[in-house]
Amino acid sequence: MNILIGLLIIAIGSFGQSSSYVPINKVKGWSWENFWLIQGVFAWLVFPFLGALLGKPIGVSLFDLWSSGGALQAIVYGILWGVGGLTFGLSMRYLGVALGQSISLGTCAAFGTLIPALLAGTNLFSGEGLLLLIGVIITLVGIAVIGYAGSLRSKQMSEEEKKKAVKEFALTKGLAVALLAGFMSACFALGLDAGSPIKESALAHGVKGLYAGLPVIFLVTVGGFVTNAVYCIYQNIKNDTAKEYREVSRSVWINNILFCALAGVLWYSQFFGLEMGKSFLIDSPILMAFSWSILMALNVTFSNVWGVILKEWKGVKPSAILVLVIGLLILISSIIVVALAQNV
């Protein structure tokens, strides 16, 4: 039962993340970099800080908790992850919500799951390590099938249909950006791993396992915010778009802030849900190690559902949709296979 509860919590957080790019269409009068910066304030500073407060022991400050070890490494990994977060957003621009998230998150799932295991000295060719490797391989197969479905979509849609579905659609550029995004985004998982002493200290001070990892998430997201803020401010200067903040009317400004906040809390929900879900998987070490891939697989699944809802696949033949569904089923099977193997 605990496993099911844990997976459900992770799934809820995943659905939130996959929905976080939908509010982009509601922001008016701002360039992409302005939306990205303001939603980042909420996604990477405000809500993670509020979450960190839940993981703060009574009578112990956050600074004392962070001094337990690993804080600097978590921030540095966060800065590297910020490059992934930045290019992740660009992949949405060039490939759309469905294909962009699929490629980025598939790459992220593999590196974010296997690198921490290797650093911990896990043998990926025997025992639990082998099960972990099999799960990741199944996940990547699912991503590859979804990627193939995306290529079929590209071939079957006219240029006019592509531009209507994704205004800046560019397959080659988008794939390159998405792969880079996935590789760098895996640094988030490394940041969480580096901050393990902080989580252990929180647990030792009586913090519930549901919240103990949240102070570490804040450190990683702070690093990511720095990277993205520098880039967005550079774009403001380059494109002279900073003036857009004051040129829109008060009602539009309030509208934009509200939707940026909504995007921010939806995005943050994935890691809030991940940490809470993992607390129910402590008796399942393989699922714990595989939890990062589970999150990414669910993110891909829900993002493709949104892609269909947003009509990114409109005008595509049923055969391409069938390939997409097969890819999604393979992704879900990776979770089922690892869960069953855990109980064998």
* Residue 24 located in a structural domain: no
Does residue 17 lie in a domain region?
A: no
Alpha helices in the chain (DSSP H): 2-19, 32-41, 47-54, 62-66, 71-119, 127-156, 159-165, 171-185, 187-194, 196-204, 214-239, 244-247, 250-278, 285-309, 318-342
pLDDT tens-digit readout, 130-146: 888 888 888 888 877 88
Q: Which residues fall within 8 angstroms of residue 157, CB to CB, at 6 or more apart?
A: 165, 315, 316
Q: Please state the length of the chain.
A: 344
Q: Which two tokens stand for residue 8?
A: 């459900």
**325 occurs within a structural domain:** yes
Q: Residue 182 above 80 pLDDT? A: no
Whole-prediction pTM: 0.82
Averaged pLDDT for residues 318-336? 85
pLDDT of residue 69: 92
**The pLDDT value given to residue 232:** 92
Whether residue 16 is predicted with pLDDT greater than 80 in this model: the reply is yes
Q: Is the pLDDT of residue 159 over 70?
A: no
Q: Which domain holds residue 124?
A: 30-342
Q: Which residue has the higher pLDDT, 175 or 213?
A: 213
Q: Is the pLDDT of residue 116 over 90?
A: no
In a domain, 245, yes or no: yes
Contacts of 316 (CB under 8 A, 6+ apart): 152, 153, 156, 157
pLDDT for 161 beyond 70: no
Residue 108 has pLDDT above 80, yes or no: no
Q: Which residue has the higher pLDDT, 140 or 238?
A: 238
Would you say residue 253 lies in a domain? Answer: yes
Number of neighbours of residue 61 by Cβ within 10 angstroms: 10
Task: Give CA–CA dist 302/15, Å, rounded.
Answer: 6
The verdict on residue 9 lying in a domain is no
Q: Write out pLDDT tens, residues 249-260.
A: 999 999 999 999
In a domain, 194, yes or no: yes
Residue 159 lies inside a defined structural domain of this protein: yes
Residues of the chain above pLDDT 70, percent: 90
Q: Render pLDDT for 142-157 as a digit per residue (tens, 0 to 9).
A: 877 887 787 777 676 6
Determine the pLDDT at residue 184: 81
Is the pLDDT confidence value at 63 over 90? yes
User: Tell me, what's the pLDDT at 171?
Assistant: 63
What pLDDT, on the 0 to 100 scale, is given for residue 74? 96
End-to-end CA distance of the chain: 16
The one-letter amino acid code at 246 reads R
* Count: domains in the chain: 1
pLDDT at 80 over 60: yes
